Chains A and B, each alone.
Chain A
Amino acid sequence: MFLRNYWYVAASDSEIGRKPFGRLILGEPIVFFRTEDGTPVAFEDRCAHRHLPLSMGRLVGDRLQCHYHGLQYDRTGQCVRIPGQDQIPSTAKVKTYPVVERYRWVWIWMGDPALADPAKITDFHWLDDPSWGAKSSYLHVKSNWQLVVDNLLDLTHLAFVHETTIGNAALAEHAVVKVTRAPNNVVVTRWIIDQPAPPTFVKVGGFTTNVDRWQIIDFVPPAFLRLDVGATPTGTGAPQGKRVGGITMRNLNAITPETEKTSHYFWGQAHDFDVKNAELTQKIFEQIQTAFYEDVAVFSAQQRNLDLIPNPPQIDINADTGVIQARRILDRLYDEEQAALHATAAE
């Protein structure tokens, strides 16, 4: 199940340059490159002539030249040169995709190009906002994208999968969890009031008293999860919306389906304290990265079982509330998109 009329993260900004770069997104092979003025461009990664991936070719100025017979395409995807032939057939062109560079990522629109409004790009400003320290990265995941969404909407797994890294028993034992929903949004809020701060928080936040801690998971379809985590000294008003004397971090996740069974996982970590301290940014990043490797191992193991037994029965537990609400939204959006496609096709 893929949702098409959405912006997805296609690559980090540094992955795309003057060397053609191929990536499979929603089952479609796509080639990315930058023109001489730095503008990112995306084509279908298949020559209109004999289907060789254009990512095996090279750039000649702003033209992408196929590695096989040297056909050249301009930035609009139109073939403008066929070696040894003056006439160029009008059908000699490749599909192009709308792309936008934002938040240190290159975004791609996978649906109807007429609907590609950059204002619809999900906000990840923490990744390039000077008032935050941030670092982002990429993981290849051998599982369906929805397993990653599920994982981030139910953080009770921290106590088990991440027992030795970022897990903390207080999260499971003392937390008050609330799930709120809107037509295209699920928010899972977890508060831990008046408990000792975990060691990592004490180290960076310098807490000398008990703290009020929060974990707020914000889900936006199809697969964006922005986590707001932090702590302030107990009684200073964070649960009422006033955050003073504490620390806040953002764990930012954008999952892009590669195939039905593999995914691109773009993520970053941002912090609002000591924001110019690159060494600290790196240290926080590495801590989370270690935990994410633990998750990636879980995803591929789940997918292996799902490959052996497709659509097996499963049970639901109280902690699944956010996961289930998000899946319900995704199912509805998929049905709506398919209905619209069929209506258009019938016209």
Chain B
Amino acid sequence: MPEPDRWHRVAALTDLREGEVFATRLGELELALVRIDGTVHAFDDVCTHEYASLSQGFLEGGEIECPLHGARFDVVTGRCLAPPAERDLRVFPVRIEGGDVYVGVTAPG
């Protein structure tokens, strides 16, 4: 992952509960955050198949299942694991500072 252009504060660490998905927005971006074994991961909240909020889906282990059509993604790597989605999910680097969660965003292209 290249060094991001900018870091944005998106949540307080206390907003995130182990095993639950926290959804937020960063401008146009719909962002999902999860905390797994203490580590925070950030990914695009919109399924790569059709519009659906993955944060309303099912987080099981390190995988999230789309609530509508059952596509599955690895929340750490963004890898697409099950159809009908075919493309991987965009994931973002995370930095924790002073109890706040920052997400790094690189302009596409």
Contact = CB atoms under 8 A, between A and B. Distances in A.
Interface stretch (B8-16, B34-42, B52-60, B75-83): B52-60
A318 B52 contact: yes
B69 interface: yes
Interface string A322-337: 0011001000000000
Contact of B53 (A318, A324, A325): A318
Interface string A162-181: 00000000000000010101
Interface residues of B, number: 10
Contacts, number: 24
A316 interface: yes
A324 B58 contact: no
A316 B68 contact: yes
A314 to B, nearest CB: 11
Nearest to A180: B58
A155 to B, nearest CB: 15
A154 interface: no
Contact of B68 (A177, A181, A320): A320
Contacts of A328: 70
A279 to B, nearest CB: 41
Interface string B67-100: 1111000000000000000000000000000000
Contacts of B57: 321
Interface in A262-319: 316, 318
Interface of B: 50, 52-53, 56-58, 67-70
Given A316-B69, A321-B57, A324-B69, 20 more contacts: A177-B56, A179-B56, A179-B67, A181-B58, A316-B50, A316-B52, A316-B68, A318-B53, A318-B56, A318-B67, A318-B68, A320-B67, A320-B68, A321-B56, A321-B67, A321-B68, A324-B67, A324-B68, A325-B67, A328-B70
Interface of A: 177, 179, 181, 316, 318, 320-321, 324-325, 328
Across chains A and B, which 7 residue pairs bring their CB atoms closest together, nearest first? Answer: A321-B67, A316-B68, A318-B53, A321-B56, A324-B68, A318-B56, A320-B68
